[in-house]
Structure 1
Amino acid sequence: MKIKHVLTITLLIAAVSLTACCPREKTARVEEPMREPDPCAASAMAKAETVFPRDIRNVVQLEKMAPEQIVAGQPFEYRLKVTNLTSETISNVRVSDTIPQNLTVTQSEPEMASMEERTAHWMIGELEGNGTRMITVTARASGTGMVRSCASVTYDSPLCAQMNIVQPKLRITKIAPTEALSCDRIPVKYVVTNNGTGYACDLQITDPLPEGLVDAEGNDQVSFNIDSIGPNESKEFSIMLDATTTGTFSSKATVASANSGTSESNMTRTEVTEPKLQITASAPQRQFMGKSITYQVTVKNTGSGPARDTTVVANVPDGIDFETATDQGEFTTSSPGKVTWNVGTIPPNEQKTVTMKIRYNREGELVSRVTAVAHCAEEVEQTASTSVTGIPALLTEVVDTNDPVEIGENTTYRITITNQGSTAGKNIQITCALPESMQYVSSTGPTTASAEGNTITFKPLMSLAAGQQQTWTVNIKALQEDDSRFEVKVTSDTLTKPVRETESTMLYQVR
């Protein structure tokens, strides 16, 4: 852009002073400050760094210095001084000065470039920032009166723009666990990093999920947007996924940008497993009251994942006496009571066995419901039962009331049965066998007797409670000398073999 600056002065020949006919014009150079650009706006091109508008004030200053008066016919000097008021270099600087008809230029320093129609031109060329050039002109005037002379300066003002060439470079990293259980949510994190030198704009992150993985809303693809990421900046995003089945799930995420292309993440693989419990409980089929009963519980993990925080609970009815439990099993007396084992983690295809010992002081069926549960595993249960019975421990005692016995006299045998057991004896029957040296006379007791030959049979006693006793008597007569044996046989429903007791009695003859 060519800029012109005009300076006019008047010379008085002889007694005429040199005055400026026109005020000096100053051309301003305006520098517009760069606004903070919107890094991802379509118009984010850098504005011109330096702007020289048409208004040239405060850019170039032109000064003309001449004597106040000159003498006709005598040489005189005047000077032209051009100054660059800016810090920028301007080019093609040319100073021009109109030469009146009654003035003759005899020489100048530097030499003028040309004279056209009474106008002298000096080519300054480039003028550095804040630089100054001086032109000295020697002239001679003729005649008298006022002489008017105007000078001007022209120059080229460049319009410059500074642009920064940048290149955004995106990287995306996907972070996911290598293992997860089917009931747990799977945390996934995406880290998007700009390793380039410029802003990455309008980013979209997508991760097509494999079949069997969904987000919280049931979508099979992860997708989200980012407005921009600056140089050397990272942004993180997290999401929770759910597995609808077990298996190994692999996928990659992609980040796409409007001004930096696409980038693919690393491949992540997550194996989703599931524990599955199987329980077995065993106990003796039959046990007597007050005796120890051992229950054994085995829990096996038949699934594909670890069974963490596995807990086994055995419920027992009221009335039991707890003895011991393995593996720090803890007994609590809440109704019903229970024994609890915290067995920790059971790996796939492994098992854990625990036992407990209890006593039951009642007759009947002792049933224990046993359960097992673990994190992510459904509860399983089984029952084990034991038939608890009492035992009628029958103590049989036989004593004679008179020993020895003279022939012809009588003696009595007292038969006492005491139930020392824990339950009633049923259908207790007594049978007595007399030797040939004795004769049955009579009997007493809770049941009646009948005699057939030397055998006395009492009718069965239907029940004898635990801790109770009954007594029968048999009265006999001594018939002949003998070291005799009185035999008693006792049977009942619970005795697999008869109880036999013998009492010896000496039968003698007085001589």
Structure 2
Amino acid sequence: MSKKMNLKRSLLGSTLAAAVLGFVTVSVTSLQAQTRPSDRANPPSQNYPSLPSTDIVGAAPAQSAQSAPVHSEAPVPAPEPARVAPVAAAAPQTAAPATAGSQFRSNLYTVDKTLVSSTQVGGEYQYRLRVTALENITNISVVEHLPEGLQFVGAEPEAKVSGNDLRWNWDAQSKGEVRDLLVTVRPQTEGNFVTSSSVCVDPVVVLPLFAGSPKLEIVKTGPATAELGDDVPFRITVRNTGTAIAHQVVVTDTLPDGLTSSSNLTTEVGDLPPGQSRDITVVAKASKGGELTNVASATFAEGQPVQARSVLNIVESRLGITKTGTPRTYIFKNATYQVVVRNEGNTTISNVTVTDDLPKGTSVVQTDPATEARGGRLTWTIPSLAAGQAQSYTVVLTNINPGDTVNGATATGSAITGKTLTARAEARTEWEGAPGVRTEIVDTVDPVRVGQTTTYEIQITNQGTFKPVNGQIKVTLSEQLRPISTGGDSQGTIDGQTVTFPDVLLDPRRGTKLRIEAQGVKPGSGRARLEFMSSFLDEPVIKDESTFVY
């Protein structure tokens, strides 16, 4: 009984996290493991809790506990005694070697020792020492002590060897990180061998500190082209792409000569947190053509200003059209019209469509370029019309109805700004029915003696059926006759040998009757000449009436 107690006391000196390797025919009733003191002065007390039991693993047949020889190290004093749980006696067995292990746990880390492979005396045994960080730790030191009779073969990673001690050191280990140390040994004799491990760490208390900095980014967008005189919208976006608040942010839009605006050009954004942005809209009117550069800038308290530029091309897109034609003609005759479409701007106009609306009652005689009328309309297309370029069209119409007609032509096209351009021109034509006027002058007495009188009866008749006819009437007497008086539908004016009647307007199928009384004053063949002039005539209609004076 005292022999068993002595064996237990000799094993109480085992160090932290002991793993026991059993060989051949060794058997013990119990084995205790206790904490081995650290080489570092005054380590935290929480690094040294109680250790669990340690198993003995071997391949030899079981013997009684009283006859089993035991090899153990002398106990090493620990800073604080650790409570050790007893190890149950190994059951008799003949099976192959099994894995054995032990564990040490603190609130900062755990240490696990596990037998990986075993054989017999003279063969290689391998076990693993695993350190798992439960928190962030630093200055990790592991010392593995091998007892006498257990030859060191190798370690992975490589260890510093000093006598029977193996040493590993590393600077830090993050929470959750695992470090494995593989040790290979060779037993020289039969017996129980107890390896001991000392693990010492420094805890790390972390206080996260972050120092950010603001960074502004500014973007200015707007149309690439705009029409002269149009309102042009610009969008300014200022964004904090940094990691700290940008304070006292101010956005300023500087308009070039040629752009004017009633918008607020300076905006106080204030504080702009990281990742946030602010949009600002500025509307400017284009008052000058050409390429204009618009600059927007943003300032803030912590850094240098940032700028963004927007280049705008101010163009003048203008489509023009003219139409001329026959102002007056007769029905059943032709009227010719000329349509000219011209790009009066400084940019190309695309997809130009030209239409000519035919007046009611007219019909197409000819077009150039040739096209057909559809739905009372002529249509031509121009794919592209360069600045200053023109295109002409000729249209010949006829009409069967008298009256005035208005012939309108329209041109539409697309500017490079997307704006739809439209122009329209008209030509007016007066279609007249062909006039027919009959003029008559007859003397009532012929021949006439000197001193006697004769009367000339005049009748002017509009034989047309479509419109009134205007006219001027004049009668001239030869020297054998002298006008005395006038009469009829209107009174004439006598001036020497000439009689003039007021202008007349003769409705269709209507006429006027006039009268001139003349006296024979000189023997001979006298003559009265009637002249009728109208706006539709190129020259007067002349009728003569002879009267013999004796």
Q: Taking structure 1 as the reference length, what is the TM-score of the superposition?
A: 0.44
Q: Which is strand-richer, 1 or 2?
A: 1
